[in-house]
Structure 1
Amino acid sequence: MGYQALYRVWRPQRFDEIVGQKVITQTLKNALITDQTSHAYLFSGPRGTGKTSTAKILAKAVNCKNLKDGEPCNECETCIAINNGSLNDVIEIDAASNNGVEEIRNIRDKAKYAPTEADYKVYIIDEVHMLSTGAFNALLKTLEEPPAHVIFILATTEPHKIPATIISRVQRFDFKRIKANDILEQMEKILTSKNIKYDERALKVIAKSAEGGMRDALSILDQALSYSNDHVTYESALQVTGSVARDDLQNYVQYVIKGNVSEGLQVVETILDNGKDASQFIEDLIDYCQHLLLYQQDSQIISDSELGLLGDKFADIAQMIDSKLIYQYVETMNNVQQQIRYTYHPDVYLDILTVRLANQKETVKEVDNGETNKELVSLKEQIASLTDQLNNFQQHKVENVQTTDKTSENKSRSRESHDSEPKPKINLTKIFAVLGSATRKDLSEYQQHWDELMQSLTVTQRAIMHVSKPVAASHDGVVVAFDYGFLYQKAGNDQDLMDALQNGMDQIFGRVADLLFVPNDEWPAIRKEYLEKNPIKKNKQSVKNADVEEQSSSVLKAKELFGDDLVNIEDD
């Protein structure tokens, strides 16, 4: 046989060889040792984290004749046959191409028969979320009362698409993204065993680009080996991943912070000349800004997780820039990234991005070569405090005029934002369904325990969710509004965050409700549209006494849904 990809050659054959899933593998080994294996399992998690490999090892372990400490021997006839894929009693099924009712009925009928060679007949159904509703229903009865000699192992990357009736009948194991350090150690082990030279920085770039997937990391490593003739160099890792060198990123961020447009444009030109993808460059910039925010919260997080790839001036840059400006940067980058997908001239958009970022420097903390003049900072803080007091005094005297001007200005900014930023997609059908059964009691419950739910998240996840709040809720769903549009989009695309939130809800509230995200600036319009589409017969009693105002039933309904503090009554 010809050359085999690294991820196939180095596929784990024992539980101890699974990278980054220690809790799961130890639990399965203990179940095997104590003979407490279940009839059905659900392995869920991101791609390339070891779900299918673990399923095959479990299939070997339950049938191995020489099981030792919960590990298969890989030497007996059964283990060898499973490794070769020739054992008829271990059946692998791809649900993406076999998702109909007939296929599952065929499995159900054959499961009744005893295994021919092994002790257990094991069905491994990959990407099980692709099964149709009818197929799930056909599988349901077999999972509920399976034959004693059958074990089902379901694997999926999207567990939220699996019916609750299926999940309640299996043991669920959630595979996590593998840490970059663990991926790095595994790649070093592989290259050392093959006597291949490598640049440690190159492996760090690959480990970061893999986004928690061991298979992705080994595929990229394969490309890097092919690119540089069996020597993994830093340059080859940058080329195959499309990443921008840390020095270029670092210099670019420094230039735009200082408002140096000319130098920033030269960096962009160099990056594009080197064949880098414009969208990947913006993605790297957003990632860099995210780490700046995290570093400002807790520097230890970055030093542990990012493997020192952020540059020798990263700490100085974090001191130079205010967090509010970082939010502005990310908002601008996100808008340009959306626009750049539909153009054949990405260089133009990168130039525009550079100019816009360089002009957003009014909130930068001034630092001279990374050395802060403490006396100057203290003096500026005193000046700022006195200026605020003066502004407050003047504002108190001309309150009405300033209020009018501010309202006009806010409306103008709102129109500009509405015109320039793309509208995020919002599932109004699901939101209206939640509002149809929403109550103030449910909303108060979520508001009361929201901080507790946030504490159940990781620091990175809290950084995304810290500008969010529940604005409407029913027993089965909750609508969450975000102050910043880019964080709303980031949260909506983060399945790990969604799973963490639902796990926290299950622990705190004893149930898992649907989470629906909306931008805060669009929530009033959504709320109004719902009330207009769901009219309630208004109270016909006229208002005769100015001191006793009778509210219409629609107003009462609105207050019941959203609370008194969120409902403003205006006369037409």
Structure 2
Amino acid sequence: MSYVALYRAYRPSSFDDVSGQDVIVRTLKNTVLNNQIGHAYIFSGPRGTGKTSIAKIFAKAINCTNQVDGNPCNKCESCINANSNSASDIIEIDGASNNGVDEIRDLRDKVKYLPSSGRYKVYIIDEVHMLTTGAFNALLKTLEEPPAHVVFILATTEVHKIPATIISRCQRFDFKNIDLNNMIKRLNYIVQKENIKIEQEAIDLIAYNAKGGLRDALSMLDQAVSYSDDIKVRDVNEIVGTVSKEDLIKLLEQIADKEISKSLKMVKSFLDSGKEEERLINDIIFILRDILLNKVNYYDEDKFNYLKNNLSINKIYHFLDVLMEVQSNMRHSTQKRVYVEIAIIQMIEHEDISKIDLSSSISQLRKDFNELKEQGVKTPVKKIVKSNKTPLVNIDDLLDCLYEASNDKNEVDHSIKTRKINNPNLEIIDHLLKQTNVVAVSNNNIILAATDLMVATELMQPEVRKKVLDVLNYDAIRFKVYSVVLENDWLGFRKQYVDLFTSGQKRPIIENYDFRIYEKEKDDIIKNVEKESVRLAKEYFGEEIVEIKE
């Protein structure tokens, strides 16, 4: 006897053998028990989920002479004939190859004849959505007024292609993808019955790659049996063309460590060994999903510990955004490998940690400070104001800006450094501002850092504040508050803010921090402004142009 494929050998013969379609099975069993047989049914859903199998079981059950709790007995003559595909009252029609008007007219002429042995003549039309419009119209009248002895079961994977006039005359059952647990349970049963040597993890991988289709899972198992007498996980990976979970975890660890060269070499090895680009991206997405579930303590796997500890939740979101965008773009491209390589580079290089989430920023800051300590550089510490002069930096303004900080500081900084001011009264201020860097921005507040104490002090003096705001808002009015501090002082202040935040203060409070920027006495202001103005004018316009008049 020739070999019978597993999905055929283990096709369910009763409702109790069906996996993963409990609601449909219960409804149909009750239909049989209560003798409430409808004249037409639509079974719709993904491939390999049991539509045709349940149609055959239902056809057997309604003609069975010895039903057992709604199930066919599989012992009476009617059931035996149905199991051997010789039952004259169960007619299977392939809608893909019999989709014309003539075939349906022929069917319509034959339905009037009584069943030869059972109570019902059952027509199972598979892939019914392939029928032409004319064929559907020819079928419509029969469905509307069928003979009492006829039952139609229309199976389809694309129910949206069936005319609404047909659907409205049928009872519709929507089949779902078979869940992982039910599929694994069924595969374990078959493996035990067939005495197949296979690792449990390999069975789990087959079920996972079947994506809800039990027939696909059994076909993969069949292929694995032919490939090896003792099936391992690596064998299943070779058969289905996937990368092992261990290799994917190693790849993500290299990405997390920003090892571009190693990551790209590993991806190249995957693709050179015949792995598909789309499947590789898809597998990485699902591994990230597993890491995310581990991170929120949905379940726990030791193999994810390194990535769990080194990837923040929002960084995982960032990786997923990159991969899903690439996955969408590569569908219509012939250069799929390029897209995969670009995705890896984007995940490593094009990531601005400070824009991803605050926890990532805190982690990076701590790393920077630890490096400074190792190099023997003292980190700035909290400084108490001791001067009797009036401090010009308002700490509350800094705290408000940090609390409400947005991600567009780089754009604002670029705008300040590149735009040209066509107002002579503002050119000196503009020149001073170009010597600072934007370190924080909120909706109407901005913080700038300077390396030169004189620049920071001049920009913070009360009499120039309006001009500074005029320059900052030269293109569009946005900022109402600004602060200019020294870069070293900003580093220490920000560290204190981060430390307080991580200790549990959702809105940290810092008092009496000395930024060393004070209001000048009137005589000093005039003298210094004049002196600085001359210096800046010479620097900005050139000594040969500037003429000083007393």
Task: Give the TM-score normalised by the residue count of structure 1.
Answer: 0.62
What is the letter of the counterpart of residue 284 of structure 1?
A: D
Change (3 A) 1:61 1:350: same
What is the letter of the counterpart of residue 76 of structure 1?
A: C
Is 1:203 paired with 2:228?
Answer: no
- Check the 8 A contact 1:289/1:330 in 2, yes or no: no
Aligned residues: 389
SS at match of 1:275: coil
For residues 23-44 of structure 1, the C-alpha deviation after alignment (integer angstroms, 9 at most, x for no partner) is 1001111111111111111100
Q: How far did residue 153 of structure 1 move?
A: 0.5
* In 2: Cα distance, 1:184 partner to 1:361 partner: 39
Residue pairs, 1:416-455, within 5 angstroms: none
* Residue aligning to 1:361: 351
Change (3 A) 1:332 1:254: farther
For residues 265-313 of structure 1, the C-alpha deviation after alignment (integer angstroms, 9 at most, x for no partner) is 23213323443223321222233345556777x653x77xxxx798555
Q: How far did residue 330 of structure 1 move?
A: 2.3
Look at both structures and tell me which one has the larger radius of gyration over its CA atoms. 2
Unaligned runs of 5+ in 1: 405-572
Q: How far did residue 351 of structure 1 move?
A: 3.4
* Residue aligning to 2:319: 326
Change (3 A) 1:117 1:138: same
How high is the sequence identity, in percent, across the aligned residues? 44
Task: Give the TM-score normalised by the residue count of structure 2.
Answer: 0.64
SS at match of 2:147: coil
Q: How far did residue 260 of structure 1 move?
A: 1.7
What is the letter of the counterpart of residue 342 of structure 1?
A: T
* Residue aligning to 1:126: 126
Q: How far did residue 393 of structure 1 move?
A: 3.2
* Residue aligning to 1:252: 251
* In 1: Cα distance, 2:162 partner to 2:8 partner: 29
* Residue aligning to 2:403: 385
- Check the 8 A contact 2:49/2:177 in 1, yes or no: yes
- Check the 8 A contact 2:46/2:177 in 1, yes or no: yes
* Residue aligning to 1:401: 475
* Residue aligning to 1:105: 105
Change (3 A) 1:224 1:116: same
- Check the 8 A contact 1:325/1:360 in 2, yes or no: no
* Residue aligning to 1:217: 217
Change (3 A) 1:390 1:43: closer
SS at match of 1:122: strand
What is the letter of the counterpart of residue 401 of structure 1?
A: D
* In 1: Cα distance, 2:205 partner to 2:302 partner: 8
Change (3 A) 1:323 1:235: closer
Q: State which of 329, 337, 342 in structure 1 corresponds to 2:334.
A: 342
Q: How far did residue 219 of structure 1 move?
A: 0.3
For residues 174-216 of structure 1, the C-alpha deviation after alignment (integer angstroms, 9 at most, x for no partner) is 1000001111111111111122221111111111110100000
* In 2: Cα distance, 1:403 partner to 1:178 partner: 58
* Residue aligning to 1:424: none
* In 2: Cα distance, 1:7 partner to 1:102 partner: 33
SS at match of 1:28: helix
Change (3 A) 1:174 1:254: same
Unaligned runs of 5+ in 2: 370-398, 407-439, 447-468, 479-550
- Check the 8 A contact 1:104/1:135 in 2, yes or no: yes
- Check the 8 A contact 1:45/1:157 in 2, yes or no: yes
Residue pairs, 1:112-151, within 5 angstroms: 112-151=112-151
* In 1: Cα distance, 2:404 partner to 2:343 partner: 35
What is the letter of the counterpart of residue 475 of structure 2?
A: V
Q: How far did residue 83 of structure 1 move?
A: 0.8
* Residue aligning to 2:543: none
SS at match of 2:173: strand
* In 2: Cα distance, 1:100 partner to 1:199 partner: 48
Q: How far did residue 68 of structure 1 move?
A: 1.2
What is the letter of the counterpart of residue 362 of structure 1?
A: D
Is 1:91 paired with 2:91?
Answer: yes
Change (3 A) 1:202 1:347: same
Q: How far did residue 362 of structure 1 move?
A: 1.5
Residue pairs, 1:448-487, within 5 angstroms: none
- Check the 8 A contact 1:246/1:309 in 2, yes or no: no
